[in-house]
Amino acid sequence: MHDDNLMLEGIRVIEFGVWVAGPAAGAILADWGADVIKVEPPSGDPQRGVFKALGLKEGRVPPFEQDNRGKRSLILDMSDDNANEILHKLLKTTDIFITNMRPAALEKLGINPDIICAQHPELIYGRLTGYGAEGEDSNRAGYDVGAFWSRAGVPTRIVPPDTPPPNIPPAFGDHMTAISLVSGLMAALFKRERTGKGALVDTSLLRTGIYGLSADFSMQMFFGKLMPRTSREEAEAPLVNCYQAKDGKWLWLLAVESTRHWPNLLKALKREDMADNPDFATARARYKNKTKLVAAIDQELMKYDRAEWTAHFDKHDVWWAPVQTVEEVIRDAQAQASGAFLDIPGGDNEDTIGGISSPISFNGQHPKATGPAPALGQHNDALLDDINKDN
């Protein structure tokens, strides 16, 4: 039965993707109903063997399944002339081509945009790089830690001065950049529907990381300076700051409109007397005495567990959010209701595993995995048969 929520049903995608960013973009398109063919070398996408490479026990690789669900796998050794011929036959029936390989590798394999787009002018070519397709570092190894986080300056804005950069959670920037690529591909697909012409769509980890820090970059470029990064004890906005409850759990106050939100916070804290304290009586005074105010709120928050503060804050319309662990988020009823999670089917009698949904829904229906992650070369015979029929 036709599913109106599979917006890309009938669209074919060829993915030359490795590791995370390119495959993540392909997985989103597969969630939306596209026929995504993952082209791999005989050795496969290196993400398939990431646990082995780390010296861990071999087995299923959930991050690989997360970013490759619902695809078909085709092995092509692009050093073989026959493989190149097969690819171009396949591209005749393809709408979108995705790759996150470096420009020099694309050139070597003969799948760079100049060659592919010239032979297939209606094709939309999506190129995701570490540092961009131009410039002296266009072929530098990026990865999200290098290009999205480090080179884009993110660590310097999330820790106080003279503090070492934090450890970075894996693939965070990869997934953000995948969304960037998908948005560009959809714009190009819409334009092609009107004109019949394909397009080259470019994005990079570096550019997406810089875009994520737009507020800071725009301030620096206009004023020549930034708000200083401080410790939480010296937070520039004490009412938009993290605090620890009695049980050791953290929460974040979100009183972004200081004058409006201050009275409600005092009611929740049962410290309405603080309204008469000249150090805290006005927004200007609270800013001037921010260190003292943070210490005062610290003292109050340690009186109750976070669950108790939930009741107090909600009763008095205090804006706040819990600082949750990954385990807590998985159990969070609101995260579940939002459609953040889905089930990924297993292949070859494997169990279904939990996965993370692409963050967009259509018609009130949250995305579902359209199939499991493919085994390496699983669909070679079927795809080659189709190519021979079509040609």
Distances (CA, A) of 234 to 259, 263, 274, 291, 368: 20, 22, 19, 5, 45
Distance from C-alpha of 111 to C-alpha of 102, rounded to nearest angstrom:
11
Distance from C-alpha of 155 to C-alpha of 25, rounded to nearest angstrom:
25
Distances (CA, A) of 330 to 60, 338, 341: 20, 12, 8
Distance from C-alpha of 137 to C-alpha of 388, rounded to nearest angstrom:
41
Backbone φ and ψ of 305, nearest 5°: -70, 165
pLDDT at residue number 204: 98
Query: Structural domains in the chain?
Result: 12-213+338-390 (3.40.50.10540), 232-325 (3.30.1540.10)
Tokens for 228, please give them. Answer: 């200083």
Distance from C-alpha of 175 to C-alpha of 382, rounded to nearest angstrom:
30
10: three-class secondary structure by DSSP: coil
Beta carbons within 8 Å of 3's beta carbon, 6+ residues apart: 9, 33
DSSP string, 153-191: T-GGGTS-TT-PPPPPPTTHHHHHHHHHHHHHHHHHHHH
pLDDT at residue number 2: 63
Whether the Cβ atoms of residue 271 and residue 303 lie closer than 8 Å to each other: no
Whether the Cβ atoms of residue 204 and residue 177 lie closer than 8 Å to each other: yes
The helix (H) or strand (E) run that includes residue 71 is strand 71-75
Tokens for 225, please give them. Answer: 């300076």
Distance from C-alpha of 84 to C-alpha of 90, rounded to nearest angstrom:
10
Site of tokens 């297939």: 120
Q: Which amino acid is at 6?
A: L
pTM of this prediction? 0.93
Site of tokens 């965070």: 172
Tokens for 391, please give them. Answer: 């040609």
pLDDT at residue number 194: 97
Site of tokens 């973009």: 25
pLDDT at residue number 52: 79
Q: State the DSSP code for 15.
A: E
Of 328, 167, 169, 158, the C-alpha closest to 247 is 328
Question: Which sign does the torsion angle of CA 290, 292, 296, 299 carry?
Answer: positive
**Is residue 153 packed enough to be buried (19+ CB in 10 Å), middle (13-18) or exposed (0-12)?**
middle
pLDDT at residue number 277: 96
The helix (H) or strand (E) run that includes residue 97 is strand 96-99
Tokens for 60, please give them. Answer: 């299923």
Q: State the DSSP code for 232.
A: G
Question: Which sign does the torsion angle of CA 186, 189, 195, 199 carry?
Answer: positive
Low-confidence ranges of the chain (pLDDT < 70): 1-2, 391
